[in-house]
A = this chain, B = another copy of it.
Amino acid sequence: MFEARYQSFDDPRERAAAPARIAALRVELKRRGLDGFMVPRADRQQNEYLPASEERLAWLTGFTGSAGAAIVLAERAALFVDGRYTVQAAAQIDAKLFATEHLVDSPPEQWLEQNLKSGAKLGYDPWLHTSESADRLRKACATAGAELVAVEGNPIDALWRDRPAPPAGPLSLRDIKLAGESAADKLKRIQAELKKLRADVLVVSDPQNVTWAFNIRGSDVAHTPLALAFAVIPREGKPALYVAAAKLDNKTRPALEEIAALRAPDDLVRDLAQLKDKTVWLDQASAADALTRLLAGSGGKPVRGADPIGLMKAVKNHAEIEGSRAAHTRDGVAMARFLAWLAREAPAGKLTEIDAVEALESFRRDSGLLKDISFSTIAGSGPNGAIVHYRVTRVSNRTLGKNELFLVDSGAQYEDGTTDITRTVAVGTPTDEIRDRFTRVLKGHIAIATAVFPENTTGAQLDPLARTALWQAGLDFDHGTGHGVGSYLSVHEGPARISKLGTVALRRGMILSNEPGYYKTAAYGIRIENLVLVIAGPAPAGAEKPLNAFETLTLAPIDRRLIDSRLLTAKERNWIDGYHARVQEVLSPLLDAATRAWLDAATRPLGNT
């Protein structure tokens, strides 16, 4: 009945190939006079969403997580993964080939200091590292008395038979009604920023920024309509967009030619080499070290800093905000149908995580407007819910047990907006402990949803508000409270976030997630996630600073059976009741009778529990 078209449930284990590949790499390194090589999970644009052709780390090691790196020396090798992926790495890699190290607690630099021999030469591909990353590696090599050497041509590419071709899917133009601002106007604003930065040229290396600035969308990677392309924007005059001709057609080509010189991807290096004596702004987070080296070598003046487009893109305009509201209403209908279906079917004890993923995608597809899901749905029942980045496979798939929690984190790509929502629901009767934990997570969620804060407040300043109710019980959650979300673009979008690391001030028009959680290892996971929009806050008499606040965009009931309302303040109960009343009011007219009946019950005030 239901079907998932945008998500596979394969369990990728390429471990069998690893020994031969490592051995071949070692031969290749020796041939090049290298004693080791670093293999990050990265492409030339430091893009989170890699096309298959860039999955060198997975090809070499078998590890398919979304972050990691390997170092291969002649006698030993290590895979570095963060806390989210230690279990997955253990299942996917061969411990005889790789030691597994913690990416943060014992980072590659430390491992190099301890394992590189004096006089050794460590190779790195300067296209796959930022200059900051290369600087750190160089320092570690120096400490060990070794040398960091930039390779010409990645040695893995020389070994990788049947490496997939780079993606060549067509580009499309973004409708101005949805974008809210023409590419020409965006480019003018970017050029004004360049003046402020006193830079002659901006190299746009983050593909999200290219995609946004030129009002294009691509089909290069799964789940995110990124156009994988570079751009070079001079302070005055026509920008250059580096895009394969095969991605363009008779509609997109002339439209783009009006605002940019269209250049082949390979022209980038040639063009940058012409920028003698020019101050060239490179995005420190995404520009490859190869670009710094190229510019320095050809007489340009590379300056590293934050790409100003990042902040411009994060602040959504009126059309993008209206688009997001429409997307969230549409997504709320799918979520209501899904949650009602779950409430009806789960108690029989036969549903699996995969069934749920397939149903949810089908309900979204029924809108007729789903372009893709915004990431592989996380659907974790019982103990699987405690794995923060869980992705169900046919091997891990689990039946939704009675009296268990079920956590579903999912999102959609509609042309008018990207969504991201997590709901945790009870199957059967939750324990007192679970209701206590759920209610504490909810208190944190409400603290963010109702926060009022002066302009220039950062996400780092708000993050603790999501935690104090958990802290009181000696609990916490080991991830940030929220990330930025794009407008029919990346579901993880910088530069603002609500986390310890959120140093960027929140501005009106930014869309972020509000997703505190609690995870009891091997038992259950709780997360409550809505997207929120930064809006003007109240203006009380005597206020000295303009205030901001959040408007919650996501529309779906929060499981009332999991709320212990005795733990809530009157203000918190009012928030829940008000939110549920709004969900009911907006969605109810759009639902079939059965779902509407379910929603009416699911959104009634807490007082009547």
Contact = CB atoms under 8 A, between A and B. Distances in A.
B464 A462 contact: yes
A268 B474 CA distance: 49
A473 B433 contact: no
Interface stretch (A116-124, A283-291, A543-551): A543-551
A463 interface: yes
A182 interface: no
A245 interface: no
A471 B542 contact: no
B433 A475 contact: no
A100 to B, nearest CB: 24
A608 interface: no
B454 A474 contact: yes
Interface in A141-190: none
A454 B473 contact: no
A543 B452 contact: no
Nearest to A473: B540
B500 A471 contact: no
A454 B471 contact: yes
Counting chain B CB atoms within 10 Å of each CB, which of A464, A467, A475, A539 scores highest? A464
Contact of A544 (B463, B465, B474): B474
A468 interface: yes
Nearest to A537: B474
Contacts of A250: none
A525 B128 CA distance: 54
Contacts of A542: 433, 473-475
A476 interface: yes
Counting chain B CB atoms within 10 Å of each CB, which of A473, A540, A547 scores highest? A473
A109 to B, nearest CB: 13
A472 interface: yes
A460 interface: yes
Nearest to A547: B474
Number of this chain's copies in the complex: 2
Interface residues of A, number: 31
A67 B454 CA distance: 27
Contact of A476 (B454, B464, B473, B540): B454
Contacts of A546: 474
A461 interface: yes
Interface string A529-543: 000000000111011
A363 interface: no
A59 interface: no
A119 to B, nearest CB: 17
Nearest to A437: B542
Given A461-B500, A465-B464, A472 B540 contact: yes
B468 A543 contact: no
A467 B461 CA distance: 10
B474 A543 contact: yes
A230 interface: no
A579 interface: no
Contact of A547 (B457, B458, B471): B471
A474 B539 contact: yes
Interface in A440-462: 451-454, 457-458, 460-462
Contacts of A452: 468, 471-472
Contacts of A545: 474-476
A454 B451 CA distance: 22
Shortest Cβ-Cβ A-B pairs, 6 listed: A474-B543, A461-B464, A453-B471, A474-B547, A473-B540, A474-B545
13 contacts: A451-B468, A452-B472, A453-B468, A454-B471, A454-B474, A460-B460, A461-B467, A464-B464, A465-B468, A474-B542, A474-B545, A474-B546, A475-B543
Given A433-B542, A462-B464, A473-B540, 15 more contacts: A451-B468, A452-B472, A453-B468, A454-B471, A460-B500, A461-B467, A464-B465, A472-B540, A473-B543, A474-B538, A474-B540, A474-B542, A475-B542, A476-B544, A476-B545
